[in-house]
Chains A and B, each alone.
Chain A
Amino acid sequence: MDTLTQIWDTFFDWPSMREALPEMLTVGLPNTLILALASAILGTLIGLLLAVAGISQTRWLRWPARVYTDVFRGLPVVVTILLIGVGLAPLALELWGTNPYPLGILALGLVAGAYIGEIFRSGIQSVDRGQLEATRALGFSYFTAMRLVVIPQGIRRVLPALVNQFIALVKDSSLVYFLGLLASQRELFRIGQDYAANTGNESALLLAGLFYLVLTVPLTHLVNFIDNRLRSGRPEAVQEADPELSEVAPR
């Protein structure tokens, strides 16, 4: 019985949680969001470039994209964060000082870009070739046709996979703590861990975990929602089902 109580207190010690809560909210949460959002934007941009390069007819674009993807997808995220965050620190010091965020975001974004590039590439390549052909037949150049017709369709199809990648970023943002954070730079995990170390129980860490869930679970459901909607079409399509529709449309 004592052991059970002890375990309960380790996880659910309300005073420890209450103590950690204000900093979680005012410091940890904003910092995690900054890291996740900034690296998501960077990763999406890199991913788009990689995808376009990856399907290019030119070997000199395809090949570097391939190598990039293999490298950053193949390394553990921690290794990349440390290599970039510590390795480039002297350069960063001259540019903006000791703040580890820019390099942390860069590292997270570089890794996310590799995955997102593959997601975009598969999406773009899944678009029927006839779409590009028809667009070009109207007189559009290759790049305009890709930009206006092919890429928007490809991205739409892979939105669920893309959101999954954003979920991974929310979690992986905790890894920047390896770069050493000032008190005001700590994100959710680091604050939870600090309080856990001070109080000798894991309740603050559990609270950090709850914060992560609050961020990631809605995203998971967003994935399911998008997925369903992509499968069943827009609600409009169902309501307005055409009575004259005498055959099943091919797409």
Chain B
Amino acid sequence: MSTTTSWKTADPVHLEVRDLHLAFGANKVLRGVDLDIPSGQSVCVIGPSGSGKSTLLRTVNRLIEPDSGEVLLDGENTLTWNPDQLRRRVGMVFQQFNLFPHKTVLQNITLALRKLKGLSADEANEVALGQLDIVGLRDKAGRRPGNLSGGQQQRVAIARALAMSPRAMLFDEVTSALDPELVKGILALLADLAAQGMTMVVVTHEMGFARRVAGKVAFMDGGVVVEAGPPEQIFDSPTSPRLQQFLSQVL
């Protein structure tokens, strides 16, 4: 897909995860995750289901509070911040879109602009329509999410997150709930955003995308990053047996 206009990425941030631990009771989901996402780079996180990928994203923006470890934004430990402040800087898009079904597409985007950023109705509409332009859905502004296809809904969700001018973005399997023919368009948007220099963490099963777009690929299994490096290295010369086995199953 081609976009006429593109995002201006507001100065991206260096995101760093250090020794992150999280357990639900006896179930240790994260067991010391280390991940470095240099400013403006996109890192794809791959791995089998249940390896802790989605939980890692949720812990980074503290939708789940980690038990221990650090999440650093430009070197500052965010675990001491108010989580709401953190989330305004680090946007997130979900597998299930999670648009607000009782609001129009436009209202989905303007809600946070107005209530959190304090923009006037006109200002918020302008920002929102601009974002919808970029994802190619300006003409759907007055619709309700239920009237849109899954691909369109996910584009609105991306527009909603980006309207807040985040300095880093988290994408949690954003194409997994989509029909195959709709996946491409969303991935193209993500590639676009990566090319614009957004710091982003993309949890994905799309290996082709990871190879093409990621600056770095991290393989997670059993709650730790087993191996991380440039895509060529991860896909063409994996060193750990677990990654080799995983790749032999998915490629």
Contact = CB atoms under 8 A, between A and B. Distances in A.
Instruction: Specify whether A and B are partners.
Output: yes
Interface of A: 128, 130-131, 133-141, 144, 148-149, 152-153, 156, 233-234, 237, 240-242, 244-247, 249-251
A59 B99 CA distance: 31
Pick from A131, A137, A156, A242 the residue with the most CB of B within 10 Å. Answer: A137
B149 A237 contact: no
B100 A144 contact: no
B135 to A, nearest CB: 14
Given A134-B94, A139-B87, A152 B116 contact: no
Contacts of A139: 84-85, 87-88, 112, 116, 164
B98 A242 contact: no
A169 B181 CA distance: 53
B101 interface: yes
Interface of B: 61, 63, 84-85, 87-88, 91-92, 94, 96-102, 111-112, 115-116, 143-150, 152-153, 157, 160-161, 164, 177, 179, 181-182
Pick from A141, A148, A246, A247 the residue with the most CB of B within 10 Å. Answer: A247
Contacts of A242: 143, 147-149
A249 B149 contact: yes
A249 B147 contact: yes
Contacts of B101: 153, 251
A149 B108 CA distance: 10
A137 B149 contact: no
A140 B85 CA distance: 9
B185 to A, nearest CB: 12
A197 B107 CA distance: 60
A250 B96 CA distance: 9
B98 A130 contact: yes
A137 B63 contact: yes
Across the A-B interface, give the 4 residue pairs with the lowest CB-CB distance, nearest first: A134-B98, A139-B88, A130-B98, A137-B92
Contact of A133 (B98, B143, B181): B98
A137 B146 contact: no
A251 B146 contact: yes
B150 to A, nearest CB: 5
Contacts of A233: 146
A246 B149 contact: yes
A240 B143 contact: yes
B159 to A, nearest CB: 12
Contacts of A135: 100
26 contacts: A128-B98, A130-B98, A133-B63, A133-B94, A134-B94, A135-B100, A136-B63, A137-B63, A137-B87, A137-B91, A138-B87, A138-B88, A138-B112, A138-B116, A138-B160, A139-B88, A144-B115, A148-B115, A237-B146, A237-B147, A240-B143, A246-B182, A247-B182, A249-B147, A249-B153, A250-B150
